[in-house]
Chains A and B, each alone.
Chain A
Amino acid sequence: MSGYAVQVDGAQAYVGNGSSGAVADAPAVVFIHGAGLDHTVWALPARHFARKGLRVVAPDLPGHGRSSAPANGAPALASVGEMAAWIAKLLDALGIATAAVVGHSMGSLVAWRFACDHSKRCRALALLGTSMPMPVTDLLLDAAHDNHHAAIDMANAWSHSAPGALGANDNPGVWMLAAGERLLERSGPGVFHADLSACNGFRADEGEVTCPALVIAGNEDRMTPAKAGLDVASHLPDARVVRLDCGHAMLNERPNEVLDALIGIVD
C-alpha cells in the first residue's frame, strides 16, 4: 500500500509510507516536506528506505496534499514550533517512540525543532537545504499572500541552480521546473503563505540537538545558501556535511546523491 490516513489533533492526516510493508516495531524514519509541497517530494528515498525494512512516515503536513487543514480553520499550521509538536503527536498516534527525522527547507526547521524538543525520540537528524534563520523576501511573501502565481514562479526559479534551470535531470524525461510548479499549484489558498511566514518567523534561539546529524547543502542554493547550511552544521555537536552541486531543489536536481548521503544516517 502506498499510504494511509490517521487522526492527529482532531483532523485527518495522510501519511505516505513508500509502499512499505514494514512491521510496526521496525526502525522509523520521518520525512518532512518543504513549504507548499507534500510527501511526493520524498518518493524516491521513501521507497528506498521502505524496501530496506524501515517504517517510513512521510506525512502531508496539515493543509497540504491529502491532509485536512488544521481543526482551528487556518489553512496550515502557523509556526515551525506547531509543526514540530504536530509531528510528535503524529508519532504518538502511530505508536512510534523514536525515529530518524529528515526535513527539507521548511521541513528542516521542523525536524530541528522536533530534535530539540523531543531529543529522546530523535535517533538521527538530517537537514536538507537549511538555514537558521530562514528569511523570506517580502516580494515572495506578498505574492503568496495574494495567492498570486508569481509566488510559485519565484520560488520555483530560485529553487534551482542556473544549470538546473535547463534541466538535464537524472530522472529520465522529467522536466523538474514544471514538476515543482505543478506541485505548488496544487497547494490550497493561503497554505504557501502560511508556510513562508512560518519560515520567516522562525528563530533558532533555544534548543539543543544531541543526536547524530547530517546537513546537505547545495553549492548553488539561492534560497538557503550553502554558507548558511554550514553555519547550522557548526552549531550541531555531531554533524556531517555533504555539499552537492545543485540548488535548493536538491531532491530534484541530485536525487541519487541525496539518497547516498541519507543512507549513512537514516538506517
Chain B
Amino acid sequence: MAEREHRGPRPTGFDTLSLHAGQRPDAATGARATPIYQSASFVFPDTDFAVGLFNIERAGHVYSRLSNPTNAVLEERISALEGGVGAIATASGQAAMHLAVATIAGAGDHIVASRSLYGGTHNLLEYTLPRFGIETTFVDPRSPEAFEAAIRDNTKLLFGEILGNPGLEVLDVPRIAEVAHGARVPLLVDSTFATPWLCKPIALGADIVIHSATKFLSGHGIVIGGLVVDGGTFDWERAEGAGDGEEGLARFPTLTEAYEGFHDLVFAEEFGPQAFVTRARREGMRDFGACMAPTTAFHILQGLETLPLRMARHVENARQVVHFLAEHEAVASVSYPELPDHPDHELAARLLPKGAGAVFGFELKGGREAGRTFIESLSLFSHLANVGDAKSLVIHPASTTHHRMDAKALAAAGIGEGLVRLSIGLEDPRDLIDDLGRALRRASRPPRGGSS
C-alpha cells in the first residue's frame, strides 16, 4: 500500500480536528467546552466492571494518574493532528521524553541522538540516563550517515528534534527514518518547534513523536505539559532478531515478551499497532506517574483550538523579523531555515512548506557584551527561559538553557557564545521590529565611558 491518494470521502480537515477531535458535547450536561474532570478517581459501576478496567477488557477511567477524561480529549486531539494511533499526556515535555525512552529502553541499551538538542533533553541523555544504564551517542543532525554509523546491536532508538535547538538544523526525517528502519530501530522525533500544523513527522517516517505542550500547542505560556504520540507504524515483532547480536534475544522485550508486571501480557501480540502507547500507559504512567493535571489539559486544549490561526501568524511575524534582522548592520548573521544561505534551506522547503517556525537565533556583531546590552534594552520582548508563547521572548542560550555545556560542546551544537534566540509572538510585527531596532542601536553604540 504505497501511494497516498484519497478516492473516497475527504478526510476531516486539520482546522476542524483542532477544534473537535476527541470531544463531543458532554453527555451528562450538554457542556460544549471540554469539562475539567477534576477528580482523582472514577466510580466503578460494579465489581466485575472494575476488574475489567484493571485487566484491559473495558474502556474507561480508573485513576487520574493512568487516565482522565479531560486528558483523554487532549490525547486524542494531538493523535488526530499528528496522525498517530494514540497519545499520553505527561507532566512536562521532559516527562514525555522520559516516558518514550523508558517504555523501550533499559539498562544496557543505547540511543543515537542528534547533538543539537534542547538543553534539558541533552542533560537527560548525557548525564542522567547513563546512571540507569542507558547510553547515548550524539551525532551531527545533518548527517544520516553519522546516525547509521553510531547504531549498535543494543541501539533501541534514534532521536532528533525536527528543528534543532537552537541552531534550527532541519532533521531529514524521511532519510533518518530510512536509516532507523534499515537497522530495525524506531525513530523518535521531538516536534515541539514545528507543531503538527507545520510538519507531521509520522507521515514523514517517524514512529513516535513527543512535544513540550508548554510551547506552541498551548500557546499561552501558562502551563507545563508534555505529549507522547505513538504513530503505530513500527512493527516491534518484525524488528526481532536484529538486536543484541545474540540469537534468541528480543530487541524490544518490553513489547514483544511476556510482562510479569501485567500477568504475562505481550503488548505487541495483543494490541498490535497500539502496543507502545498501551505499554507506556500501563507501565510508565502506573509506575513513574508523571501525569498531567486535568486543568493543564484543559488549558492546552484551549490553545489547540486556535493552533492553525496562531501558527500562521507566528510564522508570518517571524518572517518579517528575520528579514529585518538579516539586513541590519549590527547583526552578523541570522539562522533561519527559510533564508537562502541556511544549510537546510531546501530541506525546510520540502519538509516545512508552511514555514520553519517562529524560533530562531542570530549573532550580534560585538559578541557576548553586545548580546547582554541588546537583551537588557528590549522592552516588548521578555527575557525568559521558554519559547512558543503568544508573547515574544528572548534568551541567551550560552548562559541559560545550555549553560551546562562547555565551549566545545556548545560549538559542536552550533551555538555561538553571542547567539541570541528569539521566539516571535503574535504582537503587531511593526512593534516587534521597533523594539528590536532600538535595542540593536543601543547594543551597537560604542561605549561612552560614563553617563549616557
Q: Give Cα A2 to B271, complex, Å.
A: 10
Tell me which residues across on chain B come within 8 A of A45, comparing CB atoms.
57
Do A150 and B7 contact each other (CB < 8 Å), given the known contacts A163-B24, A166-B21?
Answer: yes
Interchain Cβ contacts under 8 Å between A and B, 16 examples:
A40-B272, A44-B56, A51-B51, A139-B7, A149-B3, A163-B24, A165-B12, A166-B17, A167-B80, A168-B22, A174-B277, A178-B79, A182-B233, A183-B273, A259-B52, A259-B57
Tell me which residues across on chain B come within 8 A of A147, comparing CB atoms.
1-2
Q: Which 5 A-B pairs have the closest CB atoms?
A: A154-B8, A173-B75, A175-B79, A172-B67, A170-B59
Cβ contacts A147-158/B at 8 Å (1 or 0 each): 111111110011
Q: How many residues of A contact B (CB 8 A)?
A: 54
Do A1 and B83 contact each other (CB < 8 Å), given the known contacts A19-B270, A149-B1?
Answer: no
- Pair B270/A43 contact, Cβ less than 8 Å: yes
Additional A-B contact list (7), CB under 8 Å, known A44-B56, A154-B8:
A43-B270, A66-B237, A148-B3, A172-B60, A173-B76, A173-B277, A178-B80
Counted as pairs of residues, one from A and one from B, with CB atoms less than 8 Å apart, the total is: 185
Tell me which residues across on chain A come within 8 A of B79, comparing CB atoms.
173-175, 178
- Pair B269/A16 contact, Cβ less than 8 Å: yes
Best-buried of A66, A152, A153 by chain B (most CB within 10 Å)? A153
Give B contacts to A, CB under 8 Å: 1-9, 11-12, 16-17, 20-24, 51-52, 55-61, 66-69, 71-73, 75-77, 79-80, 83-89, 231-233, 235, 237, 258, 263-266, 269-274, 277, 281
* Residue in contact with B60 in the complex, picked from A40, A149, A158, A170, CB distance below 8 Å: A170
Do A186 and B235 contact each other (CB < 8 Å), given the known contacts A1-B258, A40-B271, A143-B7?
Answer: yes
Q: Does residue A240 face the partner (Cβ distance < 8 Å to B)?
A: no
Closest chain A residue, CB of each to CB of B277: A173
Query: For residues 165 through 198 of chain A, which have their beta carbon under 8 Å from a beta carbon of chain B?
Result: 165-175, 177-179, 182-187
Summarize A's interface: helix, strand, loop or mixed. helix
Q: Give Cα A143 to B5, complex, Å.
A: 10
- Pair B57/A186 contact, Cβ less than 8 Å: no
* Residue in contact with A43 in the complex, picked from B1, B72, B271, CB distance below 8 Å: B271
Do A43 and B56 contact each other (CB < 8 Å), given the known contacts A149-B3, A150-B8?
Answer: yes
Tell me which residues across on chain A come within 8 A of B7, comparing CB atoms.
139, 143, 148, 150, 153-154
Tell me which residues across on chain A come within 8 A of B235, comparing CB atoms.
186
- Pair B57/A175 contact, Cβ less than 8 Å: no
Q: Does residue A47 face the partner (Cβ distance < 8 Å to B)?
A: yes
Do A2 and B266 contact each other (CB < 8 Å), given the known contacts A143-B7, A168-B23?
Answer: yes
Tell me which residues across on chain B come within 8 A of A174, comparing CB atoms.
76, 79, 85-86, 274, 277
